[in-house]
Amino acid sequence: MSDIIQLLPDHVANQIAAGEVVQRPASVIKELLENSIDANARHIQVVIKDAGKTLIQVIDDGTGMSLTDARMSFERHATSKIKIADDLFSLKTKGFRGEALASIAAIAHVELKTKTEVDEVGTCIKIEGSEVTSQEACVMPKGTCISVKNLFYNIPARRNFLKSDNVETRHVIDEFQRVALAHPGISFSLTHNGNELFQLPPTNIRQRITNIFGGKTNEKLVPVEEATGIVKIKGFVGKPEYSKKSRGEQFFFVNDRFIKSPYLNHAVVAAFEGLLKERNYPSYFLYLEVDPKSIDINIHPTKTEIKFDDEHSLYAILKSAIKHSLGQFNVAPLLDFER
């Protein structure tokens, strides 16, 4: 019998990888927003149509890309963010896998417009199903604008699997809010079918939370702060009387990245022990800063789960910091401690 193993063509490999990185329009938004942040953008606009199913556009004022980099950015495993394996253990950027743009371009109609500070003209590239269909010079300011149209146009099963516009828009908003909360100093806007859903000016954490969740949120927030050799913590927990019947506003950020952690969530719940009504969930916005060497982000393509070296200490520090803040708030509400 003859040999039968072959290397997959790039566009097939990209399409397979896309299945892991891109589940829905919200996943595209997350990847594009993270790229804009890594490019040091200060203003980022998101425009979507039909819950992102027909159009997702992200416009930033970041560094932009040269013509060569613009072409290169759609190659698989092509990244400007890490060079050697050791870099994986000291990540300072959101991206590092070099897979997002290659994946997205394999399953959508993509147009990239980009210009650097030093280039006189920008580059406009169109890609369909991993094939570049046009490339020309264009006039534009410094920055990048990526339009992703007709997501999953070539994977009907995936397209049909998408939920209603309402549900997909909810996912987009969730992802948008997570990124906006992680970066209060950057301005963000989100527009859906011509309606502006969010317009967030650059500000601090407290104000960003209030701008997203409404004016009343401000008075519900109890500040949390702690600094040890293992972790620096800042942020807010919601006062116990404002806890909810549903898990709504629960956010952990580690080194400016939104993460999910049932284990750390448990630490927060434990700190609220005896203070919450039965079956109520606390709300929290907690920003943890740890040595990048002490975490592993590379355990899942979407990077929302991470592994900590010293999980147990983290748990204890977090719990005690929150208990302390809640205690201060309980014993001295009249002293205006939190303002």
Q: How far is the CB of 83 from ligand ADP (least distance, A)?
A: 11
Q: How far is the CB of 34 from Mg ion (least distance, A)?
A: 5
Contact present, 146 and 4 (Cβ < 8 Å): no
Binding of residue 39 to Mg ion (CB under 5 A): no
Binding of residue 57 to Mg ion (CB under 5 A): no
Rounded Cα–Cα distance for residues 260 and 86 (Å) = 25
Closest C-alpha among 61, 31, 51 to residue 187: 61
- Sorted by sequence, the CB contacts under 8 Å of residue 229 that are 6+ apart come out as none
Q: What 3-state class would DSSP assign to 136?
A: strand
Toward ligand ADP, which CB reaches closer, 139 or 332? 139
Binding of residue 130 to Mg ion (CB under 5 A): no
CB atoms within 10 A of CB 24: 21
Position closest to Mg ion via CB: 95
Toward ligand ADP, which CB reaches closer, 30 or 220? 30
> How many residues are recorded in the chain?
339
Binding of residue 100 to Mg ion (CB under 5 A): yes
Binding of residue 62 to Mg ion (CB under 5 A): no
Q: What 3-state class would DSSP assign to 212?
A: helix
Rounded Cα–Cα distance for residues 326 and 239 (Å) = 8
Instruction: By CB under 6 A, name the binding residues for ligand ADP.
Output: 31, 35-36, 39, 60, 62-65, 73, 78-81, 95-102, 144
Q: How far is the CB of 13 from ligand ADP (least distance, A)?
A: 14
CB burial of residue 5 (10 Å; 0-12, 13-18, 19+): exposed
* Only segment of 100-108, 112-120, 209-217, 240-248 that touches Mg ion (CB under 5 A): 100-108
Q: How far is the CB of 260 from ligand ADP (least distance, A)?
A: 20
Residues that bind Mg ion (CB under 5 A): 35, 95, 100
